[in-house]
Chains A and B, each alone.
Chain A
Amino acid sequence: MRAAVPALAAVVVALAGCGNLSQEDLLFRAGVPAKQAVAVVPPGTEDEVDDALSTRAQGLQATRRQAVEEACDGDLLCETRNLARGFNGFTFFLLDIVDAISALPPTERSPGRRVWGPHFDADQGATFRFEMNRADDGATFSFCLHAARGFVGRAPAVDCDVESDEESGLQRVLTGSFAPSGIAGDSARLGKGTMRLETERLNRLNGEARFARVVDFAFDHTDGQTDIHIDMLGASVDEVERDAAYDFTRSAAGDGTLAFDVFADLVPGDGLLGRRQLERVRLRAAWLADKAGRAIGVVDGGNAGEQTFTIEQCWDTGLATVYRRDVGGEENGDVGQCAVEAPALD
């Protein structure tokens, strides 16, 4: 009897207060950015992006599978799709993890703060910890995601300031802030925010080659209008670290613009010591709601040397090329069939 009373008391204390019946949890759920808020959707990727928005990546390798590239052969629209797949692959993968873990009851709750995990995700074969903090203004949430390969059996002393916890192996792979447009309905989880993808750490966890050091996103998805600015810092291109910036806009109706910098071997020739040389391609595209659009790529550097080449391409509503001007200035098709004016090059 003497042992039963404290045992019963312990059970009561342990079981009391289990659950997630919380008003504030609903606010935090609204503060988790949706994949839709950061989706880059150039013409021709609408269906695959829709699929990706409604499904969850099945493993770390999915980041690469989702980024399977088309063979473009200098097709500018194709290049934009490949770039969009690359970015979406990383962001969707991480936000899928965030979405799954934040749907669970938080591991820690305190006013203005929620922590989930560390949770082992058998599908990913990895352990994740997600933390959100609500700013004093009540409208902005900051967040971070840590990941470790394998199982982390205890809760380490990790917070958003910790980049890497040696003891547990947890690496910070995502940070950001987000101001949702509202709490419920279409406005929840869509809004304005920033994200930093620690791609170098993520690639290390994947066991893959270095892709870039970090990728910064600034996004604003309000009333169906999407504006995304991406800075890729320390991108490993041709064994040289380069920085690049990307802009994407898309209206609720579907028309939009792209401004991407890509690197491609468009001009034949060998570089020093027989290495191939990549040319920088500044790609600008604009399209209408019916998908008909126009892109201009300016090639320089690499085998182009001091020269500058311009590639231009127009496509119709079925995404078939109706006009093309290649590196050598040769034109195919009728420029009069281009549905939009040539995007301005900055």
Chain B
Amino acid sequence: MRIAAALLCSLATLAVAGSAHAAPQRFAVLIAAHDGGEGLPRLRYAGRDATRLADVLVDVGGFARADILSVVDGDADVVRDLLEALRRRVEETKARGNEAIVVVYYSGHAQDGRLRLGDDTFAMSELRALLEDSGADVRLAFVDACGAGAITREKGATLAAPFVVKVDDALQTTGQVIIASSSRDEVSQESDEIQGSFFTHYLTTGLRGDADRDRDGQVTLDEAYAYAYGRTVAATAETRAGAQHPTYDFDLKGRGDVVLTSPGGADVVVQFPGELEGRYFVVDLDRQLFVAEVDKQKGGTSQIALPRGQYAIKKRLDSHLLMTRVQARAKGTIVVDERSMETVSFADDWAKGSPIAGVSSRIDQAVGFSFAVGGATSAVVATDGVDDGGLFPAVASFAGRARFHHLLRSQLTLDVDVAFGGTRSTRVVDGGALGTAAFDVDVRQAQAGGAILWEQPLGEVVGLDGITVLAGPRLSGLLFTHTFIGDVRPAGLAEQNFLTFTPGLEGAVAWSFSSWGHLEVGGRAMYLPYTVDSLRHLAVVEGFATVWLDL
């Protein structure tokens, strides 16, 4: 009752603000830290928790991607920089006469009143102070630091050193709410099954709509906290580390409620009708991400909001799964019908979600999809020293590329590309005693490749913000076509072609010129096995420049 009353009180501020100003500006800073320094286990899902929350805030929380600043595995200075950037944005917003709401989220280890950022630490009191200094009208902080076990692992502080440090007496601020994922003497936990921490998992599920008790299409802070609290306690009760009880600290004045998300207005609403009962997991198939878990009680209707996409909904039973695929490509409501779900064995689960963790220095780079156009120039190097008479001239190409971030694991990017190019060249054929002939040819070259690239933002390493280096292996198919032109042509032969596969390495440097795009220059070195006249081991070297649109 205490929290309900407190939150009701706190909501008044936003409600009043909402009546005076139609659309308060919303900002977020998301901090994820997998490493807590010496003696603490590396967390698996901290980055992924941040990604999930970012998705929810964008999908149904009214946040713009560009207004979500994030850092994964950064040190205290990076966190201070982000909070300073947040303060400046709030200041600009206030200067324009608008109201501002900020959300600060932390997922990682904590110990002795300090957030553990690798070998660095960041005092909770400093976080509180910087949050207060942000100048936002409403300031919300979610601190999640925990995890343990074979399936659940202890995530943050040791039992003797709880992470929620003096919430009651150190973080009480007007217009501010702090919610922690566990109480003073508990550990927070993360789970391999849900591929994230319990608290963030249920918080994000609730924000997507399952916490909307009054079915008004909006999830308030009160509803979200109540939902996350109840689900987290229930889910962790049977774990080795024991039940985990989220806590809160608030100081809000005014009337009304803080609306965190509006799932009722989302493009796609998945509805679980009254007759359904049990635990339903929702997996984003495009990205193999768990996005929600609905613990459905018989009788009431539950619903969650999702962005457009392709999802799997599965229900776990004792001996098997019930699964169905949902194509949510258009605006509307999808009603889950358990009768149409297929029975699938645990081994054949086709929507397990991949264990991805981490976000990049910009959340909009860390999730989703990018594509690019650009140009490339390639040349084949005759490593055997054989003069092949211009069989492989240098070719300029137009390239298109697409990139899927963090599909496989943190900082790994799946990159696919196609390129088409051509040139006009002359093939010189030495026939020995038959003499020499020169044939003019139109050379066309088509290439399709895939690469797995490691992304390393240099801002996290050497402080070069906006610069990222990428490198990794690549495999491509390369098609050469020579069309004979001109007056002198080989007898009865109009065209020659050659298709081969070229494994190699790729490296690039990217410069982010805005939140939505970046430039990239790089090079490739590939092995080209030529097998027609004889087996030759050739090398393809290629340079490219591309302009990327980051979605």
Contacts and interface: CB of A to CB of B under 8 A. Distances in A.
Contacts of A19: 480, 496-500, 532
A189 B435 contact: no
Given A15-B499, A16-B529, A23-B533, A29 B491 contact: yes
Interface in A222-237: none
Nearest to A110: B534
Contact of B534 (A21, A25, A111): A111
Contact of A184 (B437, B496, B500, B533): B437
Most chain B CB within a 10 A radius of its CB, from A17, A24, A26, A99: A26
Interface in A159-211: 180, 182-185, 188-189
B319 interface: no
Interface string B478-513: 001010000111111100111111000000000000
Contact of B533 (A99, A102, A103, A111): A111
A308 B281 CA distance: 109
Given A16-B500, A21-B480, A138-B433, A184 B532 contact: no
Contacts of A10: none
A20 interface: yes
A307 interface: no
Interface residues of B, number: 38
Contacts of A30: 431, 434, 490-491
Interface in B455-499: 475, 477, 480, 482, 487-493, 496-499
B389 interface: yes
A34 interface: yes
Contacts of B383: none
- Give the size category of A's interface with B: 20 to 34
B389 A23 contact: yes
Interface string A2-35: 0000000000100111111111111101101010
A32 B534 CA distance: 22
Contacts of B530: 17
B432 interface: yes
A139 interface: yes
A27 B496 contact: no
B408 interface: no
B19 interface: no
A183 B492 contact: no
B340 interface: no
A188 B533 contact: no
B531 A24 contact: no
Most buried by B among A19, A24, A109: A19
Given A21-B391, A29-B491, A183 B429 contact: yes
14 contacts: A17-B498, A20-B497, A21-B482, A25-B496, A30-B434, A30-B491, A111-B533, A138-B433, A138-B434, A184-B438, A184-B489, A185-B437, A185-B488, A185-B489
Interface of B: 388-389, 391, 427, 429-439, 475, 477, 480, 482, 487-493, 496-501, 529-534
